């Protein structure tokens, strides 16, 4: 079904060189850039993927941003988890419709938005974050995405519960299906994760250094051997390719190591 662009939508404009401009469509407003200007009224009623021209004749493609494209342009309160790692996290943690997922911390909200779409309308994402400044940025990014991007899947997203609290001090919820930790010292939260995560549930930790992963695995082995089994440790590299004329080659820049993904499964203790 074709849904025309409306006032209040967030859209991206792509120029001939692939440069991307993000605007919130508003009747009467004007977008200006180095190659001219464009009145927002010309966008209202167009289909996603339409082509418009600035008053200087510059060709622009109008698109609704994907989540990956939105994350790239949104405000950052802290270092975000890269989309390549978010994709792997959704698969390795087996985030499914209806799941109750707990994450700490929320950062700028990039992973949170992906989780909300994955759990669907019958699921929930509980986000622990102790820093109010990070929470403010994350809330703004999440509200803008689901409120102003028509392709965000607003009707199919899960319930978001935000707790301004340090997860190291405890977790209120019980029988959680999945726990995702993006923390400097995730081993400090293990006893709380043990109490909150249901048997059969998955713990996933995201950390940039191998020393953090080593310490985490040792702490699990020494103190929680009868409750958790490590099922995998991964890193994800992503290399783009480009085609120019008769040549096809890897891009000069490559997003290689950004973090380790550590997965463990909780099980019932032996009787």
212 plus 156 within the same structural domain: yes
Question: Cβ-count burial of 250 within 10 angstroms (0-12 exposed, 13-18 middle, 19+ buried)?
Answer: exposed
Instruction: Name the phi and psi angles at 209, rounded to 5.
Output: -115, 150
Same domain, 173 and 118: yes
Is the same domain home to 54 and 78? no
Query: 102 is in which domain, residue-wise?
Result: 68-266
Does 137 lie in the same domain as 246?
yes
One domain for residues 82 and 98 = yes
In angstroms and rounded to an integer, the radius of gyration of the C-alpha atoms of the chain is 21
Pairing relationship of beta strands 247-250 and 159-163 according to DSSP bridges: unpaired
Per-residue burial over 172-190, b = 16 or more CB atoms within 10 Å of its CB, e = otherwise? ebeebbbbbbbbeebbebb
- How far apart, in whole angstroms, are the C-alpha atoms of residue 3 and residue 5? 7
Q: Are 246 and 262 part of one and the same domain?
A: yes
User: How many whole angstroms separate alpha carbon 271 and alpha carbon 102?
Assistant: 28
Distance CA 269, CA 65 (A): 46
Residues 57 and 114 in one domain: no
Helices of type H across 45-97:
67-73, 83-92
| Residues 48 and 81 reside in one and the same domain | no
| Residue 18 backbone zone (phi > 0: left; psi -120 to 50: alpha; other: beta) | left
pTM (two decimals):
0.93
What is d(CA 117, CA 140) in angstroms, rounded to the nearest whole number?
17
Residue 206's closest CA among 226, 186, 222? 186
From 64, 90, 106, give the residue that closes a domain.
Answer: 64
Same domain, 170 and 258: yes
Q: Which residues contact 259 (CB under 8 A, 6 or more apart)?
A: 81, 82, 85, 206, 207, 208, 235
Q: Mark which of 49, 64, 79 sits at the end of a domain.
A: 64
Q: Are strands 124-128 and 100-104 parallel, antiparallel or unpaired?
A: parallel
Verify that 149 and 244 share a domain, yes or no. yes
Evaluate the omega torsion of the peptide bond into residue 105 and state whether it is cis, within 30 degrees of 0.
yes
Residue 1 counted as domain residue: no
In a domain, 4, yes or no: no
Q: Assess whether 57 and 73 both reside in one domain.
A: no
Answer yes or no: is 34 within a domain: yes
Number of domains in the chain: 2
Q: What is the pLDDT of residue 33?
A: 92
pLDDT tens profile 97-128: 999 999 999 999 999 999 999 999 999 999 99
The pLDDT profile of the chain, 271 residues, written as one tens digit per residue, is 788 999 999 999 999 988 999 999 999 999 999 889 999 999 999 999 999 999 999 999 999 999 999 999 999 988 889 999 999 999 999 999 999 999 999 999 999 999 999 999 999 999 999 999 999 999 999 999 999 998 887 677 999 999 999 999 999 999 999 999 999 999 999 999 999 999 999 999 999 999 999 999 999 999 999 999 999 999 999 999 999 889 999 998 888 999 999 999 999 877 6
Q: What is the CATH number of the domain that holds 249?
A: 3.40.50.150
Q: In what side-by-side order are the strands of the sheet with 159-163?
A: 159-163, 124-128, 100-104, 176-181, 197-207, 260-266, 228-235
Give the span between the Cα atoms of 224 and 162, in whole angstroms: 28
DSSP 8-state symbol, 238: B
Quick check: is 78 in a domain? Answer: yes
For residue 30, being part of any structural domain is answered with yes
Cβ-Cβ contacts under 8 Å for 127 (sequence gap 6 or more): 102, 103, 104, 105, 106, 112, 138, 160, 161, 162, 163
- 116 and 143 housed in the same domain: yes
pLDDT of residue 271: 62
């Amino acid at each position: 079904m074709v849904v025309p662009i409306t006032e209040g939508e967030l859209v991206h404009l792509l120029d001939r060189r692939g440069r991307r401009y993000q605007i919130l469509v508003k009747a009467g407003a004007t977008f200006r850039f180095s190659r001219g200007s464009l009145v927002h009224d010309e966008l209202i009623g167009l289909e996603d993927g339409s082509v418009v021209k600035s008053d200087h004749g510059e060709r622009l493609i109008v698109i609704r941003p994907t989540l990956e494209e939105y994350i790239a342009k949104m405000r950052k309160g802290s270092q975000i988890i890269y989309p390549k790692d978010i994709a792997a996290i959704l698969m390795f943690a087996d985030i499914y419709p209806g799941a109750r997922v707990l994450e700490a911390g929320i950062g700028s909200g990039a992973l949170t938005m992906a989780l909300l779409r994955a759990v669907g309308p019958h699921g929930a994402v509980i986000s622990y974050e102790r820093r109010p400044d990070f929470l403010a940025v994350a809330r703004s990014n999440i509200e803008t995405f689901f409120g102003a991007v028509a392709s965000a899947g607003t009707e199919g997203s899960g319930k978001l519960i935000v707790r301004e609290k340090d997860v190291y001090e405890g977790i209120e919820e019980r029988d959680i299906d999945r726990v995702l930790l993006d923390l400097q010292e995730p081993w400090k939260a293990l006893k709380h994760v043990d109490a909150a995560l249901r048997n059969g549930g998955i713990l996933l930790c995201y950390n940039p250094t191998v020393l953090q992963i080593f310490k985490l695995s040792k702490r699990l082995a020494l103190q929680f051997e009868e409750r958790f089994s490590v099922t995998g440790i991964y890193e994800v590299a992503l290399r783009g390719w480009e085609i120019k004329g008769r040549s096809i080659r890897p891009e000069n820049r490559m997003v290689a190591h950004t973090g380790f993904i550590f997965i463990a499964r909780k099980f019932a203790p032996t009787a």
